[in-house]
Amino acid sequence: MAADIWTALFIALLAAFVGYEVISRVPVLLHTPLMSGSNFIHGIVLVGAIVALGLATTPLEDAIGLVAVVMGALNVTGGYMVTVRILAMFDRSKGKGGAP
Amino acid sequence: MTSYVQDAINAVYVVAVLVFILGLKAMSGPSTARRGIVYAGAAMLLAVVVTFASPGLSNFLLIFVGVAIGGLGGWYWARVVKMTAMPQMVAMFNGMGGGSAAAIAAVEMLGHLSDLTSSSLSLAGAVIGSISIAGSIIAFLKLQGWMTSKPIVLPARQVVNTAVLVVGVGFGLYALVVLHTFWLLPFYVLLLLYGILLTLPIGGADMPVVISLFNALTGIAVGLDGFALVNGPLGDAGYAMVIAGVLVGAAGSLLTLLMAKAMNRSVSNVFFSAFGATEETGAAVQGQLKPIDAADAAIQMAYANQVIIVPGYGMAVAQAQQKVKELADLLEAKGVTVKFAIHPVAGRMPGHMNVLLAEAGISYDKLFDRDEINAEFPATDVAFVIGANDVVNPAAHRQGSPLYGMPILDVEQAKNVIVNKRGQGKGFAGVENDLFYRDNTRMLYGDAQTAVGKLVSELKKAT
For chain B, how many structural domains are there in total? 3
Of the candidates A45, A61, A16, A5, the one whose C-alpha atom is nearest the C-alpha of residue B225 is A45
Question: B301 with B438, same domain?
Answer: yes
Question: B378 with B452, same domain?
Answer: yes
**pLDDT score at A98:** 35
Distance CA B57, CA B65 (A): 15
Question: B249 with B104, same domain?
Answer: yes
Residue B425 lies in a domain: yes
Question: B386 with B437, same domain?
Answer: yes
**Residue where one domain finishes, among candidates B65, B80, B95:** B80
Residue B426 lies in a domain: yes
**Residue where one domain finishes, among candidates B62, B80, B98:** B80
* Residue from B117, B184, B354, B370 whose CB has the most chain A CBs within 10 Å, to mutate: B354
DSSP line for B53-74: T-TT---HHHHHHHHHHHHHHH
Question: What does the pLDDT look like over B120-173, one tens digit per residue?
Answer: 999 999 999 999 999 999 999 998 888 887 888 888 888 999 999 999 999 999
Chain A positions touching B247 (Cβ under 8 A) are 15-16, 18-19, 22, 38, 41
Question: B64 with B129, same domain?
Answer: no
Question: B189 with B317, same domain?
Answer: no
- ipTM given for this complex: 0.90
Question: B135 with B50, same domain?
Answer: no
Residue B350 lies in a domain: yes
**pLDDT score at B30:** 77
Q: Is B365 annotated as catalytic?
A: no
Question: What does the pLDDT look like over A44-82, one tens digit per residue?
Answer: 999 999 999 999 999 999 999 999 999 999 999 999 999
Pairing of strands B382-386, B367-369: unpaired
- Domain with B11, as residue range(s), is 1-80
Report residues of chain B scoring pLDDT below 50.
Answer: 1
Residue B420 lies in a domain: yes
* Residue from A14, A25, A39, A57 whose CB has the most chain B CBs within 10 Å, to mutate: A39
Question: B108 with B52, same domain?
Answer: no
Residue B155 makes CB contacts below 8 A (sequence gap 6+) with none
Residue B51 makes CB contacts below 8 A (sequence gap 6+) with A47, A50, A51, B9, B57, B237
**pLDDT score at B284:** 59
Q: What is the pTM of this model?
A: 0.87
Which B-chain residues 254-283 have CB contacts (< 8 A) with chain A?
254-255, 258
Angle at CA of residue B211, ends B208 and B217, nearest 5°: 135
Find, in chain B, the residue whose alpha carbon is nearest to that of A92. B361
- Average per-residue pLDDT in chain A? 85
CATH number of the domain to which B440 belongs: 3.40.50.1220
Question: B149 with B218, same domain?
Answer: yes
Residue B253 lies in a domain: yes
Please answer yes or no on whether B361 and A58 come within 8 Å at the CB atom: no
**Residue where one domain finishes, among candidates B49, B80, B111:** B80
Q: How many residues does chain A have?
A: 100
pLDDT band at residue A2, thresholds of 50, 70 and 90?
A: low
Residue B254 lies in a domain: yes
Look at residue B369 and give its three-state secondary structure. Answer: strand
Of the candidates A68, A22, A51, A21, the one whose C-alpha atom is nearest the C-alpha of residue B19 is A22
Residue environment code for B147-179, b if the CB has 16+ CB neighbours within 10 A, otherwise e: eebebbeeeebeeebeebbeebbebbeebbeee
Residue B246 lies in a domain: yes
Question: B183 with B121, same domain?
Answer: yes
**pLDDT score at B355:** 86
Question: B76 with B94, same domain?
Answer: no
Question: B350 with B388, same domain?
Answer: yes
- The answer to whether B6 contacts chain A (CB < 8 Å) is no
Residue B72 lies in a domain: yes
